[in-house]
Chains A and B, each alone.
Chain A
């Protein structure tokens, strides 16, 4: 086995010291003289025509510098990630509670808040629709001109109906999942200012270059006159891109010339930010008499809310993953994405897959019961192996560690002593199992990662990447990859990240792609840089053939390190660029088949739960998690992703639910929207499987999203084992469990 110096070591987190000392400057911590505080007055109606806007009293509040409506905007009043269907400020019509209408800037936060309170907006309510099935009816109010069916995606293989008619077992159920909130601890924030003639915006974002393009249109400026700097990200989990406080601060700076800052209040963040899409999933699973899957039919109906956001991409990924990591010849999956007047849903960790994983894995357990096999066995005989074809018809050539993950979970589960609650008469207990796979990178789209490097004598090596660090440790990981390639250590580098002025566009921080895609781009850049320095060495030594290995150039007995070579043999600045675009094919428009991802991560989780016989309260006692990550670059960070993801999955399966009534969120804050606290932490057992991905940096894939996918399905199956009853709605609500028991 190859021995590495930094890959596989839990080196110090490069931005950690700043964070533990409170010195990290998040976007809302920026201080400027003459700073203006920005607020937005928003719609309190789910669907209405704007009749009049009265700004007179707001304008008269001392300290208020400006109060603006759509007519005052300097550029385009249309924005959106996939479809430009959102207004920066609504002028004629609002389509949801929380739609922005009036922009306010004041010299103090208090004055800005008073002005927001005194804005008066007159509306005429329009008929609204809050249910995706109703939204598809011909008589439903149209939310956008294009109609309420925003997007439809299919995946078709074989003949599902014919195959189902021959199956020994056919199981059909309908599953419903809820909206959830990202709940990053840092509310969205942004600070804008003029730096000479350049309008500069600092905001936490998963894609600085996207924001620059979008802001150029909205501000009516040339791209080169705007600089977007990704501020330290206080958590994002798939969110933090697009219309947000940084945009409004930038508009105020554009209109006034003054620095401006906006930070969402927590309530505003809940009301305005996107949510994980609620799904209604009808799934039919057919198998032969031994339990081999023969056919799977899935119908998914998704409420995306009032605007598209990432919706079309999410349903695309959801459809591709709907069948799970199994070998199935006959497939029919249909996903429909529907506009309603509900809160907007968008990108969240798992990107359309956590929902289908619940349905898919409940079906597998039901099938196991019907066939009389145990949950491990039913999965083992059906799950994908290297060399086999997945649902979309892609042959998985290598790095398929699912059987190993299953084996690890089974081994650990068998080794554990009985939990004290297993013999406590107050509780029912049970173990549940779930497995998943997850495509790394964007679905069937080019998504190149780019890294640039430069080096000159006596200076640190500069590494420029266009991505931020969401806390997962992306910076540390990318520096480890660069260090290993060049035989250097973290301190030998100067890292520049996600800044449209100084770094390349490395694509978006989504789809668990940073380590795999951008990490591989870093490796490519290192190879080019080492090659250029090598030419200088070769010329100096008067040789043709050089070997670069373990950070040294070798030729016979002569040997010089990369650093020494740069300092003594290079007399100029050398630049290198690395690009990696994972090999994918777009999925077929009619059948949805193709090779949408270059590699997949695999995982298995088992959860042990206790159910209080009297109250129906479910507690997760133990989680066993096994993940095939290809290669662990930084074990502590991988474990951090697995634990953090599993806890988010626990919240999804048991606690969290954004309650919406007539388009209004009834629990917009942590008081009534419960995320897991330290009290919910179960006993964790983690096993990492390393099935190297040949195209990944040092064999690495991704882990950020796979970490949370199997947890909620495992909890569902555990509750079913404990109580003898399956619950088809997510989350597993205490009252539903109680009803099932009584």
Chain B
């Protein structure tokens, strides 16, 4: 048996110390050890984007990220998006515009969108397409997802007024 390794990382602002298999992926640790199952396993080869999370603000596919790479880093998942009971403007916009159908790609889409808006507060539809090109969705045809991100931009601007 291999020895387990100690991993200390921040997830959604809270510090966790867990013992992990040395080859465990971040996705496995989030889902199976921290019970954060909002992050989805879609393909386990980094192609679909359903498992996208942010590490120190940057989007990664957690299925291909070794958990031990996150030592001392800060991870954000869909579970950390709400502010108390209030939805994040992106979550609100996804809900309102029809960006959510089956919901399986949604967590990853939200994380990629969040990163996109942190980098670019006023993206064009074309920039949103590029920003979400690593996240597959089979239900919506992406149109209402792009509309949702544009709508979230407006919501954020209005809340800052």
Q: Which residues of A contact B (CB under 8 A)?
A: 10, 12-13, 15-26, 28-29, 31, 110, 182-187, 232-235, 237, 263, 265-266, 470-473, 636-637, 639-640, 643-648, 669-671, 675-679, 681, 684
Q: Residues of B contacting A265 with CB < 8 Å?
A: 44
Contacts A636-B144, A646-B141, A681-B146 hold; do A13 and B136 have CB atoms under 8 A apart? Answer: no
Q: How large is the interface on B (under 10, 10 to 19, 20 to 34, 35 or more residues)?
A: 35 or more
- Docked-complex contact A28 and B104, CB < 8 angstroms: no
Q: Which of B41, B45, B91, B132 contacts A263 (CB 8 A)?
A: B41
Q: Of all chain A residues, which has the CB nearest B88?
A: A20
Assess the A471–B45 pair: CB atoms within 8 A. no
From B67-75, B79-87, B153-161, the one touching the partner chain is B79-87
Q: Residues of B contacting A21 with CB < 8 Å?
A: 38, 78-79, 81-82, 87, 91
Q: Are B40 and A186 within 8 A (Cβ)?
A: yes
- Chain B interface residues (CB < 8 Å from chain A): 21, 31, 35-45, 47-48, 50, 77-79, 81-82, 87, 91, 94-98, 100-107, 110, 128-130, 132-146
B48 → A minimal CB distance (Å): 5
Contact B41 A669 (CB under 8 A): no
CB-CB under 8 A from A18, the residues of chain B are 103
Chain A residue nearest in CB terms to B131: A678
Other contacts beyond A183-B138, A187-B41, A232-B102: 16, CB < 8 A = A10-B98, A12-B96, A16-B94, A22-B106, A28-B41, A185-B102, A185-B105, A186-B42, A235-B138, A266-B45, A643-B144, A647-B140, A675-B136, A676-B141, A677-B134, A678-B130
Contact, CB under 8 Å: A678 / B95: no
- By beta carbon, the residue of chain A nearest B37 is A29
Q: A211 vs B65: C-alpha distance in the bound complex, in angstroms? A: 37
In-complex Cβ contact of B50 among A29, A185, A473, A676 (8 A): A185
Chain A contacts of B135 at CB under 8 A?
Answer: 678
Name 19 A/B residue pairs within 8 A (Cβ), A-sorted: A12-B95, A13-B95, A16-B94, A20-B95, A21-B79, A21-B82, A22-B36, A22-B37, A22-B77, A22-B106, A185-B102, A185-B104, A232-B103, A237-B138, A643-B141, A644-B101, A669-B43, A675-B136, A678-B133
Task: Give Cα A472–Cα B139 distance, bound, in whole angstroms.
Answer: 8
Inter-chain contact B103/A19, CB cutoff 8 Å: yes
Q: Considering only CB atoms, which chain A residue lies closest to B148 in the complex?
A: A20
Assess A187 versus B129: contact at CB under 8 Å? Given A20-B91, A640-B139, A640-B144.
no
Instruction: Please name the residue on chain A nearest to B77 by beta carbon.
Output: A22
B92 (CB) vs chain A CBs: closest residue: A20
Point out the residues of chain B lying under 8 angstroms from A183, CB to CB: 136, 138
| B-chain residues with CB within 8 Å of residue A263 when the two chains form the complex | 41
CA distance A646 to B38 in the complex (A): 28
Whether the pair B102, A22 counts as a contact (CB closer than 8 A) is no
Give CA–CA (A471, B128) in the complex, Å: 23
Q: Distance (Å) between the CB of A682 and the closest chain B CB?
A: 9
Chain B's nearest CB lies how many Å from the CB of A101? 23
Q: Say yes or no: A678 contacts B142, CB within 8 Å.
A: yes
How far, in angstroms, from A237 to B141 measured CA to CA in the complex?
13
CA distance A25 to B129 in the complex (A): 28
